[in-house]
Structure 1
Amino acid sequence: MVTPSRIRLARERRALTLARLSALTGISQQSLSNYENARTAPTGPTLGRIAEALGFPVGFFSADEVEEVASEAVAFRARTKTSMRKQKAVRSQAALAIEFNDWLTAHFALPAPNVPTYGRPSPEDCAETVRALWELGDTAAPNMVHLLEAQGIRVFSLDTEHHEVDAFGFWRDSVPYVFLNTAKSGERGRFDCAHELGHLVMHGDERPLSGPEAEREANRFASAFLMPRADVVGRMPAGAQVDQILKAKSIWRVSAMALTHRLHDLELLTDWQYRSTCRQLAEMGYRTAEPDGIARETSQLLPKVFSLLRGRGTTPGRVAEELSIPLSELNSLMFGLSFTSRPGRGGGPGRDRGRPALRVVPAPR
């Protein structure tokens, strides 16, 4: 029996219109619309043509009903600049990630979510409260992907085709999710993690998840979370010069521009000094990139999971088969990691100090 919602999800995952899918399959748009809306069901050969055109196994279309990720549940960083077709494509990828997480939860004991939600309007206070809850002290945050995973946030990567989507996050059934664009710099990736954490903590049923004010609040949260007030004030002089900023940004592993914004917020740079510094940094190439940047932070949980699976004789291909998805869809969620990589690598010398321990064990049978 065919599940209509899965035809729509697979089509939207490929960012195809009904007209385009009709051209690829030779099936009329009306028939395709009927299949997606459960008015009629495709025959076996017809379903095969649809599956081939969309690059999904035939079995995908007969699995259980899939619940789509609603547009209002997702905090797209630049919603107005992201086409509706692209938004649907990334939301479809998120729906597949939720199914993957359900599979993981059935097979492994993953960290339970430990993410508070506050209706308070002060991002600075929220950031300080979360840091205290997670016992981070007043020093630089550790590997952000590892930190979020250790606190029960399910972190996945976005397909490389979605380069215009920085990151997004949402709650589903009391489980927090964050999706990251891995094409960004290491510093930008850390800020994206903290930004999406801010949305999870501050925005939800009581307050809007998206919009200019929500984005500003999430940015302020991220800045305060990555660069604690006491640490920055204790280390940085008032009126810091560009060379001092470039040297100090490695302390918190943030971009030069992010540190400059934080210094201005903390009144360590005057308005004139802030504008002058931003102009100098832009001329040096730091507005759109980080010429001397850090390595991109990546998952700790997923390599551990697949290491345990290898010990059971279960390959990634087998996992994809059980989920009835192409292996490429599973790979797209994995931060570009090799399944043969050792768990926990990639932080660089001294980067793992103080990071939260992450324990993943097989679920009891």
Structure 2
Amino acid sequence: MNEDNQPTLFTTSGRGLRKGRVSLGQPSPAAVHEVFDPARLTQARNLVGMTKRRLADELGVTPAAVSQYEMGTNRPRPDLLPRLAETLNVPLTFFLSGRPHARLDPSAAHFRSLRSTRAYQRAKAVAFTEQVWELTYALEKRVQLPMVDLPGFTGGEVHPGTELPSDPASAARALRVAWGLGTGPITHLVRRLEAHGIVVITPQRDEDLRSVDAFSTSHLPRPMIVLTPNRTDDVYRHRFSAAHELGHLTLHGEATPGDITQEREADAFAAEFLTPRESILPELPSRADLHKLSQLRNAWGVSVHSLLYRCRELGLLSDSSASRAYQRLNELKGQPGFAPEPLAGFPSEQPALLSQAFSLACDHGLSVTELARELAWTVPQVRQILGIEGDRPILRLVSSAPQASEAV
């Protein structure tokens, strides 16, 4: 992304990735059987949140057979493959080997709480992130995306402490300096992350991913942050989640999903990154003035709840005073100045990197259909991840004569 946050066209090649040729035609089930990729079956099953037992029931085979398919010790019979593709809602070509596939282990992603999510939901989140990378890789063959500018990150690994301090607050201040952000409020946070080469995605209409909460990984060629839909009802919560995940990417090269220490460090990073102590301290009230904090919310782009926590953290409020303030804040929920601000009203806090890259590639001949064929996805799946609407015309019925009013 250049200075005005627009990708530029170029051609590139992958590094350290599986490559191969995939026919653009429709191969027969027998042909797919010969080059069946077991990892693709696992990915497709996880994407729909289906257990091996349920898939086995759909196919009329045993769960042990499905396990053998996924381990590669056996392959589905050719006559089973069309039904397998239909059940998992993927094209038959999805199971062909040879396409770039970045394997991501669930242990390599920063999940906040393992108690609030089920294993299949985390597996689905990981498979989704793998697909986002595949889409990113396909676009990068056509469009030059921003170089990854994350201190300590190289080759799909983060080496904490090599370029930034290991202390969360110190690391946050150092990253602000490295990115030239100054000491004041950070505007357009998500777009800034994208401008530094981090892929940010907000999946829509998926209850499983909604329950997983925000998560991130630095174990792919590009760092990725997934901000799930339950964070989009309030832009301030959304921004803190983005900064929290940036903290993980900066501080924690080895993820320990659900680790309370890492989660607290990421919170400390986010607080200092969004509201640096030396800058916010003179502006914070010395008592629990919620009206003043509401004004600071709008200026700094963080929630009143976070600012109250900051007041207590910086010694301006006692625990008892903060507790009473939280109670009053809860009573004001929904009132002007305290009600959530939906993300929809803040375009610059919504991811745009992939959709802009696709738009630029389309100007040079790419189409959704071509991209879907290359990825071996359905067209709706491509549209969903890119966040673009369908192109069906809208039918509008117009009455030819005035009608009496009716209750509806």
Question: What's the TM-score once normalised by structure 1's chain length?
Answer: 0.86
Q: Secondary structure at the match of 1:136?
A: coil
Which residue pairs with 2:179 in the alignment?
134
8 A Cα contact 1:138 1:228, kept in partner: yes
8 A Cα contact 2:202 2:351, kept in partner: no
Which residues of structure 1 form unaligned runs of 5+? 341-365
Asked if 1:330 corresponds to 2:375, the answer is: no
Which residue pairs with 1:355 in the alignment?
none
Residue 208 of structure 1: how far off its partner (Å): 4.8
Q: Give the number of equivalent residue pairs.
A: 336
Matches within 5 A, 1:135-214: 135-159=180-204, 160-161=206-207, 162-184=209-231, 185-205=234-254, 208=256, 210-214=258-262
Which residue pairs with 1:281 in the alignment?
329
Asked if 1:260 corresponds to 2:305, the answer is: no
Q: Secondary structure at the match of 1:237?
A: coil
AA of the residue aligned to 2:299: I
Which residues of structure 2 form unaligned runs of 5+? 1-34, 153-159, 392-408
Which residue pairs with 2:94 in the alignment?
60
Matches within 5 A, 1:333-344: 333-334=385-386, 336-338=387-389
Which residue pairs with 1:306 in the alignment?
358
| Structure 2 CA distance for aligned equivalents of residues 144 and 16 of structure 1 | 35
Matches within 5 A, 1:65-80: 66-80=101-115
Residues 290 and 329 (structure 1), Cα distance of their counterparts in 2 relative to 1, 3 Å cut: farther
Which residue pairs with 1:357 in the alignment?
none
Which residue pairs with 1:48 in the alignment?
82
Which has the higher mean CA deviation after the structures are superposed, 146-155 or 97-106?
Answer: 97-106
Residues 306 and 105 (structure 1), Cα distance of their counterparts in 2 relative to 1, 3 Å cut: closer
Residue 27 of structure 1: how far off its partner (Å): 3.1
What RMSD in Å do the two structures reach over aligned CA positions? Answer: 2.2
Residue 333 of structure 1: how far off its partner (Å): 2.9
Residues 290 and 76 (structure 1), Cα distance of their counterparts in 2 relative to 1, 3 Å cut: farther
Residues 208 and 89 (structure 1), Cα distance of their counterparts in 2 relative to 1, 3 Å cut: closer
Residue 5 of structure 1: how far off its partner (Å): 0.9
Question: What's the TM-score once normalised by structure 2's chain length?
Answer: 0.77
Q: Secondary structure at the match of 2:115?
A: helix
Residue 64 of structure 1: how far off its partner (Å): 2.5
| Structure 2 CA distance for aligned equivalents of residues 260 and 332 of structure 1 | 37
> C-alpha deviations, 1:153-191, integer Å up to 9, x for none?
111223522111221111135521111113322111101
| Identical-residue share of aligned pairs (%) | 29
Residue 264 of structure 1: how far off its partner (Å): 1.6
Which residue pairs with 1:90 in the alignment?
125
AA of the residue aligned to 1:10: A
AA of the residue aligned to 1:88: A
AA of the residue aligned to 2:318: T
Residue 330 of structure 1: how far off its partner (Å): 2.7
> C-alpha deviations, 1:102-136, integer Å up to 9, x for none?
21222211111111133344211111000011011
| Structure 1 CA distance for aligned equivalents of residues 262 and 122 of structure 2 | 19
Q: Secondary structure at the match of 1:104?
A: helix
Which has the higher mean CA deviation after the structures are superposed, 252-261 or 302-311?
Answer: 302-311
AA of the residue aligned to 1:55: N
| Structure 2 CA distance for aligned equivalents of residues 290 and 248 of structure 1 | 11
8 A Cα contact 1:68 1:91, kept in partner: no
